[in-house]
Structure 1
Amino acid sequence: MSSSYIMHREGENDFTPVISNNFWNSLRMYVMRKADADYFSEYFCGDRETNTGFDESSFLRRLTEELGCQILFFDDNYMPETLEVLSFAEYVYRFISVPISTEYDNYHRIYYHTKFDSKKGRYEFTVQLNDMFKKFKHPYEIKQGKISRIHSKVLDDRVDSFEFSNDKSLNGQLKKAIAFFREPNGDKKLEALGILANILERIKTYEGDNKKRSIEEILYFISTDSKLIGMLDNHIKSITMISNECNIRHKELSKIGVNDERVQEFLFYSYYNIIRLILDCYKEKKNTIGNP
């Protein structure tokens, strides 16, 4: 959805993973507006007899209990860390619900809520939050209450759509690597690279324990052109050298550090794409995959 305001349409084009003060202000105002509409009254009602209103103190106490850290939500001068903001958004998702049934008490002459719809509230919040991520150019999205990092939309769609192999152990490791790569916490990306590097080493043994001979046979499942096979083989050797010389597979102090997230993202897709290519072609030709 296109933003209504030029500052969002024509502002900085680059997405930044560090949550901005503008995003936090927008999220706070949205939550406060929904609190005024009794969207949190099912769990944090100001009047327990009517299930209306908003009890700020119980909302904050539960927030601190859930996260283990104190977020000064109602302090205009307070700016939490990125992971705290994202965790707060997941907290809101858990407890937001729409009041859908109201009755009138003739004796007390007041209205009170009798029913809430959490599914509707969560849907509204999901749409709103994802729109805010786009508007303020932060590379995140929320799905079913969980926030993850977005990288390349085209490549991420391919990652999501790929059905791996019949090698259950490898499938589990691939899914783990993808999950780590999408964590907002950047430290997990290096761990994801290590998993992919080890997966590639596993694949090299699909046609025998002699990796050099095995990978040559595996590449013939991709192409029978000797020049292309040679180039693919050189590409695999290059990324294998990177994983061995850098702090990807091994953590010795002498290893080259790969700490720039842009380099980590480049390497992730480099590893992933060659793994996907091999598995796709191998599965197609062999029908089943795994160590013979």
Structure 2
Amino acid sequence: MKMELYSARNGFRKTRPKTEKISPEVYSLLLGCCNQYKNNLIHMFSEEEHHVFTNRDYTGFDEGNFETRLIVLIPTLLRDDSGKFRAPIASESYDQYAILDLIEFFSENIKDITINWNNQYKDYQIIDTCESSNVFVDFQRDINELFVESGVLYTLTNKKIIERIVENSPLSKEVEQNIEAIKEEGTKELLADAIALYKTPNKKNRPLAVQQLWGAFERLKTYYSSNKVKSAERIVQDMAGENDDFNTLFNAEFKQLTDIGNKYRIRHQETDQTDITDSKYYDYLFNRCLSLIALAIQYLE
């Protein structure tokens, strides 16, 4: 249950720094949250058990099959000596994306269940699985509350995938809706792919996202015809209207972004390209290029 504690209510708590790093403590909390929903996977991992005192069979959760399946699917999940999944300790290296994979696995597969005791003596529980998956809403809420409380810049979306939260970015729902409205399928597809790559938690996808975005930018310049120069001029004129100053500004920005795409190792891999040496530069490049595209597509016919 989300609640605001005394120090937060009264302004004594320092703002928690935002991060994409999942600490061992946060990893442990996320793992614990998943474990609370394991019975919602019983439709996938069930085994017949026998209760000695009542001499009856009932369906239980198959821990062994669950652990085996997950270690094959997500091999970097940490395990203890008994094979149980565990959180990392502070001094060891670990794959933080493994816990995100686990969250997505639960999101995709959990189903609603009903749980009842077999009798008044509560010998064992009877778990029945439903076809619905309304429980995902609760799981999503619990996971996202942990992300928010810990300052971790990820979110579990309604599509049941983890996306990173990009702060101070022109990327918004309105921009994504405008992209969906683009008539030229090639440009729309490149932009959608670039955004999807940019939202993934894995930093290795940042160069690919920027590459795709610059590809969309170059294709956008041919929106009206195969004559790139004339087509781009029309886009700029529509953006600027009758304002010569903004016409000059947008022309200069189109040219500079074109030069950046040619000079730096974004779209090409020649030996004379300038390497992008700091991963943080990819955020800058992505946001700068997207800002111009987001404005331009609002003026397309």
Higher helix share: 1
Distance 1:130 1:114 in 2: 27
In structure 1, what is the equivalent of residue 162 of structure 2? 147
Asked if the contact 1:165–1:171 (Cα under 8 Å) also holds between the matched residues in 2, the reply is yes
- Are 1:132 and 2:140 counterparts? no
What is the number of equivalent residue pairs in this alignment?
279
In structure 2, what is the equivalent of residue 179 of structure 1? 196
Change (3 A) 1:22 1:75: closer
Asked if the contact 2:154–2:165 (Cα under 8 Å) also holds between the matched residues in 1, the reply is yes
In structure 1, what is the equivalent of residue 82 of structure 2? none
- Are 1:195 and 2:212 counterparts? yes
In the superposition, the TM-score normalised over structure 2's length comes to 0.79
Distance 1:5 1:76 in 2: 31
Asked if the contact 2:155–2:163 (Cα under 8 Å) also holds between the matched residues in 1, the reply is yes
SS in 1 for 2:134: helix
Deviation at 1:282, TM superposition (A): 2.1
Compare 17-26 and 149-158 and name the one that shifted more.
149-158
Runs of 4+ deviating beyond 6 Å:
none
- Are 1:260 and 2:260 counterparts? no
Compute the RMSD of aligned alpha carbons.
3.1
Alignment of 1:71-86 (within 5 A): 71-72=78-79, 73-74=85-86, 77=89, 80-86=94-100
Distance 2:142 2:253 in 1: 43
In the superposition, the TM-score normalised over structure 1's length comes to 0.82
Deviation at 1:244, TM superposition (A): 1.1
Alignment of 1:1-292 (within 5 A): 3-4=4-5, 10=13, 13-35=16-38, 38-45=39-46, 48=49, 49-52=57-60, 54-72=61-79, 73-74=85-86, 77=89, 80-102=94-116, 104=118, 110-116=124-130, 119-143=133-157, 144-152=159-167, 155-162=171-178, 163-222=180-239, 223-283=241-301
Structure 1 unpaired stretches of 5+? 284-292
Q: What is the percentage of aligned positions where both structures have the same residue?
A: 21
Distance 2:73 2:6 in 1: 35
Deviation at 1:110, TM superposition (A): 4.3
Q: Which amino acid aligns with 1:26?
A: L
SS in 2 for 1:89: helix
Structure 2 unpaired stretches of 5+? 50-56, 80-84
SS in 2 for 1:119: coil
Asked if the contact 1:3–1:135 (Cα under 8 Å) also holds between the matched residues in 2, the reply is no
Change (3 A) 1:275 1:46: same
Asked if the contact 2:164–2:199 (Cα under 8 Å) also holds between the matched residues in 1, the reply is yes
Q: Deviations over 1:107-162 (max 9, x none)?
A: x9644223346513322111111111111111111123211112137733333332
Distance 1:6 1:63 in 2: 40
Change (3 A) 1:259 1:183: farther
Asked if the contact 1:24–1:79 (Cα under 8 Å) also holds between the matched residues in 2, the reply is no
Change (3 A) 1:109 1:248: closer
